[in-house]
C-alpha cells in the first residue's frame, strides 16, 4: 500500500513545472487527482498520461482570479470523487522585475490576486468541504521569498510572506478540526517560470548569487518539491501543522 492510496487530492497550477512533476509524484503514490490550471491542453495531457498508466485523474480548467471558479473546482472534486482529502495550492505568477517605486497598482494586484488571495479562497472552500468529511491536509506553495527578499520583486515577496501567514492562520483555525495546513518554500526550481524570469536582466543578474546561496550549489528539480508535498499530504505527516518547510538545498540556512 502506498502512502496516498485512494486519497482524493486537488492540485492547482497542475500544468506548470512544479505542478506537472507533483501530479506524477502524487499519482505514483496512489492519489486520485483533480488537476487544475488555466492551461487547458497541457493540463488535460497530464491527466490523460496518468490515466493511461492506470491512475485516476481528471482535469478541470479554473481561473483562480475568480472565487466562483474556485468554489466550482472544489464542488467538482467532491461530486466526481465523493470527497476531498488533500489540496496542493501551487499555482502562482512571477514578479514583474520592477522596484517598488516603479511598480503599478495593477501589477501589484495581479500578483497578489493569484499568489495570495487565491490561496486564501482555495483554503476557504477546501476547508468547508474537508470539514464535511472529517478532515484533510492542505499544502500551499510559498517560496524562500516568503522569508527573505531579493530586489525588484516587492509584490511577489509580499504575497509569499502572506502565504506563510495565511497557512499559519488556517492551521490555527482548523488544527483541532482535523485539517492540517502547511507551506512549502521552494528554492529555485527549474521550471518555465524561472526560464521566463531568466530572460530579464533585472532577475538574471541575481541568478549566480542565488545559486551560490543554495548550499548544495544547484537548483531543485520539480519532483523534489512534489516529494515534499507528497509527505505533507500523507498521514505520515500526521502531527505536522502550520510549518513553513524549506525545500531549498539549504538556501535559507545560508
Ligand atoms: N520555480 C521556482 O523557482 C519557484 C520557487 C519558489 C516558489 N515557486 C512557486 O511554485 C509555484 C509553481 O511555480 P512553477 O515554477 O511551477 O511555475 P510555472 O509558471 O511553471 O507554473 C505555474 C502554473 O500556474 C498556472 N496559473 C497561473 N495563473 C493562473 C490562474 N489565474 N489560474 C490558474 N492557474 C494559473 C500557470 O498556468 C502555470 O501552469 C508558484 O506558486 C511559484 O510562485 C516557484
Query: How would DSSP label each residue in 126-167?
Result: HHHHHHHTT-EEEEEE--GGGTS--TTBHHHHHHHHHHHHHH
C-alpha cell at 141: 506553495
Domain boundaries, the chain: 8-253
Nearest-CA residue for ligand 1 atom 38 is 16
Per-residue model confidence (pLDDT) at position 217: 95
Check 156, 174, 219, 231 and give the catalytic one.
156
What is the pTM (predicted TM-score) of this model? Answer: 0.98
CATH for 8-253 is: 3.40.50.720
Q: How confident is the model at residue 206 (pLDDT cuts 50, 70, 90)?
A: confident
Mean pLDDT, the chain, rounded, equals 97
Q: How confident is the model at residue 205 (pLDDT cuts 50, 70, 90)?
A: confident
- The tens digit of pLDDT for each residue in 221-246 reads 999 999 999 999 999 999 999 999 99
For residue 115, the 8-state DSSP code is I
C-alpha cell at 20: 506537472
- The tens digit of pLDDT for each residue in 29-52 reads 999 999 999 999 999 999 999 999
Q: Given a cut of 80, is residue 1 above it in pLDDT? A: no
CA pair distance 29, 5, nearest whole angstrom? 6
The minimum-distance atom of ligand 1 relative to the CA of 65 is: 31
For residue 242, the 8-state DSSP code is S
Per-residue model confidence (pLDDT) at position 65: 98
156 flagged as catalytic: yes
Instruction: Give me ligand 1 centre to Cα 1, in Å.
Output: 31
List strand residue ranges (DSSP E) for 24-161, in order: 32-37, 56-61, 86-89, 136-141
Ligand 1 neighbours by CB, cut-off 6 Å: 12-13, 15-19, 37-39, 63-65, 90-93, 114, 141, 143, 186, 188-189, 191-194
Amino acid at each position: 500500500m502506498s502512502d496516498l492510496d485512494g486519497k482524493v487530492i486537488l492540485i492547482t497550477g497542475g500544468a506548470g513545472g512544479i505542478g506537472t512533476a507533483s501530479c506524477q509524484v502524487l499519482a505514483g503514490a496512489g492519489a486520485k487527482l483533480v488537476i487544475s490550471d488555466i492551461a487547458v491542453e497541457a493540463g488535460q495531457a497530464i491527466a490523460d498520461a496518468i490515466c493511461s498508466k492506470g491512475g485516476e485523474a481528471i482535469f478541470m480548467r479554473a481561473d483562480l482570479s475568480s472565487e466562483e471558479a474556485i468554489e466550482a473546482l472544489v464542488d467538482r472534486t467532491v461530486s466526481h470523487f465523493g470527497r476531498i482529502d488533500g489540496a496542493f495550492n501551487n499555482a502562482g505568477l512571477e514578479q514583474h522585475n520592477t522596484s517598488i517605486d516603479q511598480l503599478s497598482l495593477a501589477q501589484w494586484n495581479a500578483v497578489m490576486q493569484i499568489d495570495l488571495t487565491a490561496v486564501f479562497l482555495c483554503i476557504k472552500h477546501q476547508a468547508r468541504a474537508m470539514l464535511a468529511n472529517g478532515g484533510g491536509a492542505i499544502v500551499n506553495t510559498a517560496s524562500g521569498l516568503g522569508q527573505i527578499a531579493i530586489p525588484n520583486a516587492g509584490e511577489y515577496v509580499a504575497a509569499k510572506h502572506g502565504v506563510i501567514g495565511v497557512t499559519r492562520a488556517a492551521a490555527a483555525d482548523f488544527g483541532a478540526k482535523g485539517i492540517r495546513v502547511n507551506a512549502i518554500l521552494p528554492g529555485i526550481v527549474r521550471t518555465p517560470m524561472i526560464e521566463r524570469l531568466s530572460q530579464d536582466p533585472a532577475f538574471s543578474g541575481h541568478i549566480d548569487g542565488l545559486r551560490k546561496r543554495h548550499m548544495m550549489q544547484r537548483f531543485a528539480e520539480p519532483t523534489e518539491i512534489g516529494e515534499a508535498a507528497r509527505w505533507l499530504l500523507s498521514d505520515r505527516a500526521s502531527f505536522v501543522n502550520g510549518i513553513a518547510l524549506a525545500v531549498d538545498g539549504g538556501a535559507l540556512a545560508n
